[in-house]
């Protein structure tokens, strides 16, 4: 990580959980970090905790294309080109495919797939402006590789399988450039003491029943 010190990293969904842990890990390694989040006050709390760190909080809803374009324009004007993008923003709505609403499904698709695509597009445009090595990391989920037998996930596993395919597609598109693309599949992770990454408490209990260790993953260890 030493060679990335002083480089500009953008993390989406940076307010809590894996996103916040990734922000802290990047700061530990000397990167300049831009945390994008709807709840930007949570990212500002990280700044308060680490006043010496080069962390910038930018309010951004990844489902709003104008928000994303504006955020990356701010980065270009104030920090220069992007060297690292971590597409971490992700949501799920506990419902079913047989009874769920289009609004809930669309929200999950907009955040997990289309929001990721827009952020990636803007990052690639920025990365192409410099000659150095860059990297794009998609945070996926094991649910995109093996769907757990738990009700309530509806379109979420499909969106994460899409993330995996998008990483492969982008890798093909950028072959021969200095932009590297990878993805990481996380496990069941607690966002905070009372809000794990997936849906309601009822779903959490069922998920723990099928999870091999019967425990939540640790955001900090995943960030490592």
Say what the pLDDT of residue 2 is.
78
Per the DSSP assignment, residues forming a β-bridge with 36 are 12, 58
Contact criterion met (CB below 8 Å) for 159 and 183: no
Q: At what angle do helices 156-173 and 102-109 cross, to 10 degrees?
A: 30
Rounded Cα gap, residues 100 and 109, in angstroms:
14
The residues assigned a catalytic role are 156
Interval 88-127: pLDDT, tens: 999 999 999 999 999 999 999 999 999 999 999 999 999 9
Closest Cα to residue 216, out of 186, 190, 194? 190
Looking at residue 145, its pLDDT comes to 86
pLDDT value, residue 55: 96
The answer to whether the CB of 82 falls within 8 A of the CB of 139 is no
- Taking residues 8-19, report their average pLDDT: 95
Mean pLDDT of the chain: 86
Return the pLDDT at 187.
62
Distance separating alpha carbons of residues 22 and 30, to the nearest angstrom:
13
Instruction: Give the chain's domains with CATH numbers.
Output: 2-223 (3.40.50.720)
What gap in Å lies between CA 106 and CA 212, rounded to an integer? Answer: 30
């Amino acid at each position: 990580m030493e060679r990335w010190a002083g480089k500009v990293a953008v993390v989406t969904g940076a307010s809590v959980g894996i996103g916040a842990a990734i922000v802290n890990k990047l700061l530990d390694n000397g990167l300049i970090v831009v945390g994008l989040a709807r709840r930007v006050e949570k990212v500002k709390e990280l700044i308060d905790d680490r006043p010496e760190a080069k962390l910038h909080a930018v309010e951004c809803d990844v489902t709003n294309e104008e928000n994303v374009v504006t955020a990356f324009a701010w980065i270009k004007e104030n920090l220069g080109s992007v060297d690292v993008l971590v597409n971490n923003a992700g949501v799920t709505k506990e419902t079913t495919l047989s009874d769920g609403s289009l609004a809930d499904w669309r929200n999950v698709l907009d955040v997990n797939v289309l929001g990721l695509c827009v952020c990636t597009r803007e990052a690639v445009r920025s990365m192409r402006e410099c000659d150095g090595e860059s990297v794009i990391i998609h945070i996926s989920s094991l649910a995109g590789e093996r769907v757990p037998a738990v009700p309530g996930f509806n379109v979420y596993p499909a969106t994460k399988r899409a993330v995996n395919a998008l990483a492969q597609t982008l890798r093909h598109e950028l072959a021969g450039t200095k932009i590297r693309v990878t993805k990481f599949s996380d496990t069941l992770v607690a966002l905070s003491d009372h809000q794990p990454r997936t849906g309601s408490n009822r779903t959490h209990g069922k998920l723990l029943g099928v999870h091999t260790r019967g425990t939540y993953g640790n955001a900090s260890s995943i960030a490592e």
